[in-house]
Amino acid sequence: MGETALADLRVLDLTHYIAGPYCTKLLADYGAEVIKIERPEGGDPARRYGPFPHDEPHPEKSALFLHLNTNKRGITLDLKTSAGKDLFTELVRQVDVVVENFSPRVMPSLGFNYDTLERLNPSLVMTSISNFGQTGPYRDYKAQDILIYAMGGAMHQTGVAEREPIKMAGNLMQYHGGTMAATATLVGVYGAQLQGIGQHIDVSLFETQAGTVDRRSTFLTAYAYAGEIIHRQGSGPQGMLPHGIYPCLDGYVCIHVTSEWWPRLAHMLDRPDLVTNLKFATAAARVNVEHQGEFDALFYPWLLERTKQEIMERAQAARVLATAVNTPEDVLKDRHFRAREFFVEVDHPNAGCVTQPGPPFRMAETPWHIRRCAPRLGQHNEEIYGGMLGLSKEELMVLREQGVI
Q: Domain count of the chain? A: 2
Split at pLDDT 50, 70, 90, the class of 53 is confident
State yes or no: pLDDT of 249 exceeds 80: yes
Q: Can you count the helices (H) and strands (E) in the chain?
A: 18, 11
State yes or no: pLDDT of 292 exceeds 60: yes
Domain finish residue from 271, 303, 329: 329
CA distances, 6 to each of 22, 32, 84, 193, 367 (Å): 16, 5, 28, 13, 11
The predicted structure's pLDDT at residue 223: 64
State yes or no: pLDDT of 205 exceeds 90: yes
In which domain, by residue range, is 386 found?
A: 10-222+338-401
CATH code of the domain in which 180 resides: 3.40.50.10540
Mean pLDDT of 244-266: 95
The predicted structure's pLDDT at residue 232: 59
Query: Would 315 be classed as within a structural domain?
Result: yes
Query: Would 233 be classed as within a structural domain?
Result: no
DSSP string over 130-164? ESS-SSSTTTT----HHHHHHHTTGGGGSS-TTS-
The predicted structure's pLDDT at residue 236: 45
Tell me the pLDDT of the chain averaged across its residues.
Answer: 91
Split at pLDDT 50, 70, 90, the class of 216 is low
How far is it, in rounded angstroms, from Cα 165 to Cα 159?
A: 5
343 shares a domain with 325:
no
128 shares a domain with 81:
yes
The predicted structure's pLDDT at residue 231: 60
Q: Residue 386 gets which letter from DSSP?
A: I
β-bridge pairing 251-256 and 243-248: antiparallel
Mean pLDDT of 243-255: 95
Mean pLDDT of 258-266: 94
Q: Where are the alpha helices (DSSP H) in 2-157?
A: 19-29, 63-68, 82-92, 106-109, 114-120, 145-151
State yes or no: pLDDT of 264 exceeds 70: yes
Phi, psi values for residue 325, rounded to 5°: -90, 100
DSSP string over 220-264? HHHHHHH-PPPPPPP-S-BTBS-EEEEEETTEEEEEE--GGGHHH
Q: Which residue has the higher pLDDT, 67 or 283?
A: 67
189 shares a domain with 148:
yes
Closest of 124, 68, 120, 62 to residue 90, by C-alpha:
120
Q: Are 311 and 303 in contact (CB under 8 A)?
A: yes
How far is it, in rounded angstroms, from Cα 269 to Cα 303?
A: 9
130 shares a domain with 99:
yes
77 shares a domain with 177:
yes
SS3 277: coil
Domain finish residue from 288, 310, 329: 329
Query: Would 237 be classed as within a structural domain?
Result: no
325 shares a domain with 342:
no
Query: Would 349 be classed as within a structural domain?
Result: yes
263 shares a domain with 132:
no
Q: To the nearest whole percent, how much of the chain has pLDDT over 90?
A: 75
Closest of 287, 133, 299, 286 to residue 200, by C-alpha:
133
Domain finish residue from 329, 350, 369: 329
Q: To the nearest whole percent, how much of the chain has pLDDT over 70?
A: 92
Split at pLDDT 50, 70, 90, the class of 57 is very high
32 shares a domain with 121:
yes
β-bridge pairing 73-76 and 33-38: parallel
Phi, psi values for residue 235, rounded to 5°: -105, 10
Query: Would 260 be classed as within a structural domain?
Result: yes
Query: Would 229 be classed as within a structural domain?
Result: no
Split at pLDDT 50, 70, 90, the class of 237 is very low
The predicted structure's pLDDT at residue 217: 63
CATH code of the domain in which 316 resides: 3.30.1540.10
How far is it, in rounded angstroms, from Cα 335 to Cα 341?
A: 10
pTM over the 0.85 mark: yes
Any long-range contacts for 49-55 (C-beta under 8 Å, 24+ apart)?
53/351, 53/352, 53/354
Query: Would 91 be classed as within a structural domain?
Result: yes
Query: Would 1 be classed as within a structural domain?
Result: no
How far is it, in rounded angstroms, from Cα 252 to Cα 150?
A: 29
Angle at 235 between CA 276 and CA 299, to 5 degrees: 35
pLDDT (tens digit per residue) in 130-170: 999 999 999 999 998 888 888 876 777 677 777 777 777 67
14 shares a domain with 76:
yes
How far is it, in rounded angstroms, from Cα 61 to Cα 264?
A: 49
The predicted structure's pLDDT at residue 1: 44
321 shares a domain with 361:
no
Q: Which residue has the higher pLDDT, 128 or 147?
A: 128
Split at pLDDT 50, 70, 90, the class of 189 is very high
295 shares a domain with 354:
no
The predicted structure's pLDDT at residue 226: 73
380 shares a domain with 259:
no
